[in-house]
Amino acid sequence: MIKAIKGTNDILPEEIVEWNYLINVVQKKMQLFNYKEIRTPIFEHTALFSRGIGESTDIVSKEMYSFTDRSENNVTLKPEMTASVVRAFIEHSLGKQSGLNKLFYISPMFRQERPQAGRLRQFHQFGIEAIGSHNPMLDAEVIQVAFEILRNVGLEDLTVTINSLGIPEERAKFSAALKNFIEDRKSKLSEDSQRRLDTNVLRILDSKDRNDQNLLKEAPSILDFLGNESLEHFENVKALLKSAEIPFTVEPKLVRGLDYYTHTTFEITSTKVGSQSALCGGGRYNLLVEQLEGPSTPAVGFAAGIERILLACKSEQAFTPAKEEIDIYLIRLDNQLEKKTFEMASLFRGNNLKVELDYSTRSVKAQMREANKYNARFVVFIGGEEFGNGQIQIKNMQTGDQTLLSIKDLEKILQIVK
């Protein structure tokens, strides 16, 4: 038997209710903050990601689903969205049409990670890319959108962590100081961190290894390397978050995995999803558009993982989506009346009523059971003497009341069931 690929999930009908609930909250919030949806292809030229995300990142160095297609193109299933959105922004000159582009997306992503709870190989993200402004209001707004979505789906156990990585010169000075600090302790570090010393020293701050974390307690802080402008930007973001009543903590070790961040970085975590605690992460990336050969344009964004958010919701019992029901179940008293039943179903469905019927030859009792299973608000009986006289019995499943009405009197029927 052929099974689904490891690290991929089927989203079954009973789960889709929760997905749609979350997506609905996302769409409403994006509309409120005036973000416009963008969709980009599932696959792109591999170079877009290696240049956009950075060769030394985990994503590019070991997690991408890359292959050569039949025309010898090197292509990759998208592992994240920022590079794709920036490519589209440049390709369609969106910056010329409007000074500020506030974009959002909902899309599957692909990374060949080691699967575990909350970590998949095909997963789904929603997120924002707001391209075209330096203003710290936009940093704060992006964090606010993410936070409010998570709050609106009912999550309470949320921690917002923020940091600033400043501008490249400041970051470079900090990297050098950090490297110095770590060189002295190199032999005590985990193998992964030792490797990162030469490839991506900032990433060592992300290490989940306990021993590494202890060693890093005394490490220099990026915040001591920021110049006045960077500090002012960061102070503004913090003040705006406070005014939006978003609780946050500053964590100078929050560098995030990607090379393209400048200034603000942030993460929203939950303690309710085990070791994969990050629900959402993002930050400012003022250099990426230029790096991908577009006009120099500042930008800020975030990505949030749908599967992880739903795990957190489950564990917090955050929401109980409304019980599904149908308006009418058609009960056929006589199997000769299939065509009539079909016609009645079309008539009701044509009037925007949700209708279900029996597709086999069940007994009346069994059909009644089906009606209950579907939480039918009404059942309509097709057949019997009354039906022959052009009348139907409508039963209200909640009160048990039955009404006999002429089939021709559609207005009255609709009045009862609507």
Per CB under 6 A, residues contacting ligand AMP are: 80, 111, 113, 118-120, 123, 125, 257, 278-281, 303-305, 307-308
Q: Three-state SS for 130?
A: strand
Nearer to ligand AMP, 254 or 376 (CB): 254
Instruction: Retrieve residue 254's tokens.
Output: 């929050």
Residue 197 is which amino acid? L
> Shortest approach of ligand AMP to residue 75 CB, angstroms?
20
Q: Which residues of 165-175 are buried (b: 16+ CB within 10 A; e: fewer)?
A: bbbeebbebbb
List residues bridging with 393 in a β-sheet: 381, 404
Contact, 265 vs 285, CB < 8 A?
A: no
> Shortest approach of ligand AMP to residue 115 CB, angstroms?
8
> Shortest approach of ligand AMP to residue 417 CB, angstroms?
43
> Shortest approach of ligand AMP to residue 119 CB, angstroms?
4
Residue 183 is which amino acid? E
Kindly list the distances between the CA atom of residue 225 and the CA atoms of 171, 179, 231, 233, in Å, as whole numbers in the listed order.
7, 14, 9, 14
> Shortest approach of ligand AMP to residue 206 CB, angstroms?
11
Give the distance between the most distant pair of CA atoms in the chain. Answer: 96
Nearer to ligand AMP, 313 or 376 (CB): 313
Residue 285 is which amino acid? Y
Residue 376 is which amino acid? A
Ranked by CB distance to ligand AMP, the top (closest) residue is 305
Nearer to ligand AMP, 119 or 185 (CB): 119
Contact, 69 vs 39, CB < 8 A?
A: no
Cα–Cα distance for residue pair 99/97, rounded to 1 Å:
7
> Shortest approach of ligand AMP to residue 143 CB, angstroms?
14
> Shortest approach of ligand AMP to residue 383 CB, angstroms?
52
> Shortest approach of ligand AMP to residue 114 CB, angstroms?
9
Nearer to ligand AMP, 11 or 414 (CB): 11
Instruction: Retrieve residue 246's tokens.
Output: 């978003």
Cα–Cα distance for residue pair 83/259, rounded to 1 Å:
12
Contact, 385 vs 363, CB < 8 A?
A: no
SS3 per-residue string spanning 78-119:
CCCCHHHHHHHHHHCCHHHHCCCEEEEEEEEEECCCCCECCE
Nearer to ligand AMP, 80 or 259 (CB): 80
Nearer to ligand AMP, 308 or 332 (CB): 308
Nearer to ligand AMP, 25 or 355 (CB): 25
Nearer to ligand AMP, 246 or 311 (CB): 311
